[in-house]
Amino acid sequence: MAKVKTKFYCTECGYESPKWYGKCPGCQAWNSMVEETETVVKTQGMNSPLFNSKEKPLPIINIESNQEPRINSGINELNRVLGGGIVPGSLVLVGGDPGIGKSTLLLQASNSLALSGLRVLYISGEESVRQTKLRADRLGALSPELFVLCENNMVAIEDAVENTKPDFLVIDSIQTVFLPEVTSAPGSVSQVRECTSRFMRIAKGLGIATVLVGHVTKEGAIAGPRMLEHMVDCVLYFEGERHHTYRLLRAVKNRFGSTNEMGIFEMGESGLREVENPSELFLSERPLGVAGSTVVASMEGTRPVLVELQALIAATHFPSPRRMCTGIDHHRLGLIIAVLEKRMGMFLQNQDAYLNVAGGVRLDEPAVDLAIAVSIASSFRDMPTKPYDVMFGEVGLTGEVRAVSRAEQRVREAEKLGFKRVILPQKSLKGWTPPKGIQIIGVDTVADALAVALD
């Protein structure tokens, strides 16, 4: 007879316990333990031909280190985020809000791969094959090498993979797949963990590039145990505002490339369209001659992006002023305000401060500090900056402006978009020759930058 076990799992880290805890002993998260009933059945599932491996341990010096050629997905922005293309045998997890465009992106990528001669298997556990065909008709994703299957059973999926022998496999989504050997419901911690381990063996054992679509929680994290992100090779987040047409694709984990890259798409009637010049997109609605508006040159991986920063300083009606920001760490905002008060003599203790990065982009690097300081000072003094100025630099606690990396690429991006002047750290001018078509002004302190930007 099958043996029934009751266990408790942490939804954050996957910690397993025979009893319930209010606080997870593994990751210290509160109220994250859930009860699941498992029925352990002895099966021959692991003896499937998919998992038969005859490889033997080898000395590391005898293993060839030749890099396998990456697969071109046909979408340059997706290739950029993945580190140059799809790695054969890799396991990729794509997460995002409902309706953001995950299935659309993967169906377009599947069609491009199928048109290049690869065999693609697209398995949907949420939509029927007819619904998938309707989306494919709208996107123009019609290729004889693109196979579609509606299936949730892991055993049936393994049989389909063995019979079809695809080069690229898409599972939409991992929360709908279940393994009959595990009695818990689809989407539970046990099911997600076991099914993901099966797909990992398929990807590594057969060399099939596999993409899993994952649901997200209301906090924006991928649903299921945190172990899910540790098992895969790459974790991508598809982000975007419902009121905007563009979407951002970011990598938070990538074993085959950088995690600093960002892909930008625009959603249209015929699917997702790549945005080749994101700086022009983010600056398309920028007002000119308005106090509190500056342009900062930020780096997203290897790509320079020019983004507008907007600051609003207004008198407060409350005992403690409000500090609100969108797209910037609010701790960084408080630090810059403290520097302006101490080093520049600005009295901001009775002023509300609001900061916004136009376009919904999030800027994490310290090179945006100088633009934040200039935006706040411009709004506080009601003095607009020059409309064709770009600035970047890190601000220290003593009011100095520190050097940042890739200054030459930032300057050339500003020149390409028609800006006339760049304000940057003085120490960032070493080691490269500025272009002749744009004025370069190096500053050492915040006071110097304000004197130049708000003259």
CA 270 – CA 265 distance, rounded (Å) = 12
Closest CA to 26 of 37, 49, 10, 42: 10
**Could you give the number of structural domains in the chain?**
3
pLDDT for res 2: 53
Please tell me the pTM assigned to this model: 0.77
For position 67, what pLDDT does the model report? 67
Whether 227 and 321 share a structural domain: no
Cα dihedral sign, 10-7-224-121? positive
Give dist(CA 160, CA 42) in Å, integer: 23
- How much is the pLDDT for 291? 94
320 is in an annotated binding site: no
CATH, residue 335: 3.30.230.10
Range with the poorest average pLDDT among 44-48, 104-108, 167-171, 213-217: 44-48
pLDDT digits (tens, 9 = 90+) for 85-111: 999 999 999 998 888 899 999 999 999
Together in a domain, 245 and 345:
no
Band of the pLDDT at 303, cuts 50, 70, 90?
confident
Q: Pick the range with the lowest mean pLDDT from 184-198, 388-402, 411-425, 432-446.
A: 184-198
Nearest to 353 by CA among 337, 367, 369: 337
Same domain, 148 and 260: yes
Which range in 59-73, 178-192, 197-211 is most confidently predicted, on average pLDDT? Answer: 197-211
Return the pLDDT at 108.
95
* 214 annotated ligand binder: no
Position 28 pLDDT exceeds 80: yes
H helical segments located in 22-91: 76-82
Last residue of a domain, one of 276, 296, 331: 276
Domain end (from 260, 276, 292): 276
pLDDT at 98: 87
Q: Is 84 annotated as a binding residue?
A: no
Instruction: For residue 437, say whether it is annotated as part of any ligand binding site.
Output: no
Reply yes or no on whether the pLDDT at 204 is more than 60.
yes
Whole-number pLDDT of residue 36: 78
Q: Is 205 a domain residue?
A: yes
Least confident of 12-16, 18-22, 211-215, 374-378: 12-16
Q: Which domain holds residue 268?
A: 72-276
Residues 14 and 77 in one domain: no
My answer on whether 267 and 286 are in the same domain is: no
* Residue 164 shares a structural domain with residue 295: no
Same domain, 78 and 219: yes
Residue 389 annotated as part of some ligand binding site: no
State residue 419 phi and psi, 5-degree precision: -75, 150
Residue-by-residue DSSP string for 65-80: -PPPPPBP-S-HHHHH
What counts of helices (H) and strands (E) characterise the chain?
11, 21
Q: Is the peptide bond before 173 cis (omega within 30 degrees of 0)?
A: yes
Q: Both 248 and 101 in a single domain?
A: yes
The annotation status of 427 as a binding-site residue, yes or no, is no
| pLDDT at site 317 | 87
Residue 39 has pLDDT above 60, yes or no: no
Q: What is the pLDDT of residue 245?
A: 76
Q: Verify that 293 and 337 share a domain, yes or no.
A: yes
Could you list the beta-strand ranges (E) of 289-350. 293-300, 303-315, 323-326
Q: How far apart are CA 65 and CA 351, in angstroms?
A: 59
pLDDT band at 248 (very low <50, low <70, confident <90, very high): confident
If asked whether residues 290 and 231 sit together in one domain, one would say no
49 belongs to a structural domain: no
26 is in an annotated binding site: no
Is 96 a known ligand-binding residue? Answer: yes
Residue 195: which residues within 8 A CB-CB, separation 6 or more? 154, 174, 177, 178, 179
Q: What is the pLDDT of residue 261?
A: 85
- In single-letter form, the type of residue at position 34 comes to V
